[in-house]
């Protein structure tokens, strides 16, 4: 096992890296850095320009002093599908080998264009014999390989590609040993992921193709302002109750409309699980991600779902190295959660 692993989260607007040392009894965060990406290098989590992204990753290593070349990447945009799947009980290797012959009807693309995996959750007995219940994970092959190529362009060694909702749940639910049924929602730039875990084990995953950038774009187009001004309005106003100018009033109307659509999708996703598993009542919602920092978003989510909402703490179960600037770390906390979860997964 490597003495340290780096989680690399390639977003639409920046690359985030977190290095975790495994040399002590408790995982220790020893380095982190985020560097913006040129516009168009990545689109909705998919690398369009591997050379450009590779150059940014090289800058992260040289600027941030990263030591390990072993990295774990994450995938979690609309090019990734997670669905419930029940298969005859067998070894995990055999189940994975059989997936291409069992799931074609569940995929939006030919099997040959997808990378498939199975995440087992439980077992039961049916009239036909023992079965395994779990999650089918399917990713578009080209999307995954684009991210891998960008890392290889930077001279790094990709150990694994992990599902972003799993990385998040590892940090925020499994490691803290949270009991009961927990909903973890991550609102990113272009996608929102929902993972529902029971006693620390993910049971349900959905990826919603909407995030913070959709709101910025709506403000920019409809108010006829540039992206930077739209981003400033979004951050400053959020779901405000009172405004001072006509432009702010128009902006808040757009924010309520676009955010309301996302909140409705999140509520419907949670309600679907509750109807599917009424025997497992949800105790709380944990919220993370840059898009979730919108002023008033946690309160609106709590009101719409009628569930308590808490902000997740990604650093509760890890140590922080002496050289790390703790103030900067906690200011960046929500944006670093995915990269931290990827690094922790690479330790296994």
CATH class of the domain defined by 80-140: alpha beta
pLDDT in the model for residue 348:
67
| Distance from C-alpha of 71 to C-alpha of 47, rounded to nearest angstrom | 17
Per the structure block, which two tokens stand in for 21? 């040392």
Look up the CATH number of domain 4-78+143-176+313-346: 3.30.420.40
Helix boundaries (H) for the chain: 50-64, 92-102, 141-153, 164-169, 212-223, 227-237, 246-276, 297-305, 326-331, 333-346
Per the structure block, which two tokens stand in for 255? 């924010």
pLDDT in the model for residue 2:
56
pLDDT in the model for residue 81:
86
pLDDT in the model for residue 206:
92
Fold match between domain 4-78+143-176+313-346 and domain 80-140: no
Closest CA to 138 of 80, 184, 56, 86: 80
How do the domains of the chain map onto residue ranges? 4-78+143-176+313-346, 80-140, 212-309
Closest CA to 74 of 341, 336, 347: 341
Ordered mean pLDDT values, 10 residues apiece, the chain (348 residues): 86 92 84 93 86 96 95 86 91 94 88 92 91 93 91 94 92 93 92 93 91 94 94 92 88 96 97 93 93 93 96 89 90 88 88
Per the structure block, which two tokens stand in for 75? 């995938």
- Name the CATH superfamily, with its identifier, for domain 212-309: ATPase, nucleotide binding domain (3.30.420.40)
């Amino acid at each position: 096992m490597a003495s340290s692993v780096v989680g690399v989260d390639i977003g639409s607007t920046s690359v985030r890296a977190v290095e975790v040392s495994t040399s002590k009894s408790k995982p220790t965060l020893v380095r982190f850095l985020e560097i913006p990406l040129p516009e168009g290098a990545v689109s909705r989590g998919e690398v369009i320009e591997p050379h450009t992204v590779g150059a940014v990753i090289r800058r992260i290593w040289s600027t941030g002093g990263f030591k390990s070349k072993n990295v774990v990447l994450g995938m979690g945009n609309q090019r990734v599908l997670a669905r419930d799947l029940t298969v005859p009980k067998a070894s995990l290797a055999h189940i994975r080998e059989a997936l291409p012959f069992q799931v074609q009807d569940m995929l939006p693309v030919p099997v040959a264009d997808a990378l498939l995996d199975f995440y087992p959750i439980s077992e039961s007995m049916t009239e036909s014999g023992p079965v395994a219940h779990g999650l089918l994970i399917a990713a578009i092959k080209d999307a995954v390989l684009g991210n891998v190529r960008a890392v290889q362009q930077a001279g790094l060694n990709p150990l694994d590609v992990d599902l972003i909702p799993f990385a998040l749940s590892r940090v925020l639910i499994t490691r803290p040993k949270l009991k009961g049924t927990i909903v973890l929602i991550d609102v990113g730039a272009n996608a929102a992921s929902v993972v529902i875990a029971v006693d620390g084990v993910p049971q349900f995953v959905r990826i919603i193709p909407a995030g913070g950038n959709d709101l910025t774009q709506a403000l920019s187009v409809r108010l006829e302002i540039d992206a930077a001004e739209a981003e400033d309005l979004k951050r400053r106003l959020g779901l405000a109750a009172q405004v001072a100018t006509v432009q702010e009033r128009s902006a808040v109307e757009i924010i309520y409309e676009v955010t309301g659509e996302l909140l409705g999708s999140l509520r419907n996703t949670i309600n679907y699980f509750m109807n599917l598993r009424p025997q497992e009542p949800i105790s709380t919602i944990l919220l993370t991600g840059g898009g979730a920092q919108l002023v008033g978003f946690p309160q609106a989510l709590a009101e719409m779902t009628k569930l308590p909402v808490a902000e997740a703490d990604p650093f509760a179960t890890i140590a922080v190295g002496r050289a790390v600037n703790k103030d900067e770390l906690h200011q960046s906390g929500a944006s670093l959660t995915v990269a931290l979860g990827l690094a922790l997964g690479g330790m296994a």
